[in-house]
Amino acid sequence: MVLISPVTSQNDDLQRTIEQLHYQGAEDILVNAPQQSAYGYQVGYNHPELQYTLDGKRYYILWLTEESKLAQYKAQRIAANDPEHGGIEIRTVREYDDPATKTFTRSAS
């Protein structure tokens, strides 16, 4: 299992997302790798948590535990490196309230 964070819930979400992307027919799925275009060229030195190609477009997903200005900066850098991207998603996934059972017991605030 590839990890993107010390936060278990983010790693679990990553694995579910990768499974969904395989099912949807996504190609060239990379985790924490240098940014690449849909054509397979390295276009940046940053490492998006997840990037993939679907229907000829390159997509990127970033994971956070809370809203962050860093995420906005990373998204802007990704877009500048790959102006033909298909989309950039920023996911906010907090840590499980009970890591042993992988459950959320409190509502997010």
**53-100 per-position pLDDT tens digit:** 999 999 999 988 776 778 888 999 999 999 999 999 999 887 776 767
| 8 Å CB contact between 108 and 93 | no
The per-residue pLDDT for 106 is: 66
Mean of per-residue pLDDT scores for the chain = 88
Neighbours of 21 (CB within 10 A): 18
101: pLDDT strictly greater than 80: no
17: pLDDT strictly greater than 80: yes
Across the beta sheet with 57-64, the strand order is 27-31, 50-54, 57-64, 87-92
Question: What mean pLDDT comes out for the span 17-39?
Answer: 96
2: pLDDT strictly greater than 90: no
Rounded CA separation 43/30 (Å):
14
For residue 7, name the pLDDT band (cuts at 50, 70, 90).
Answer: confident
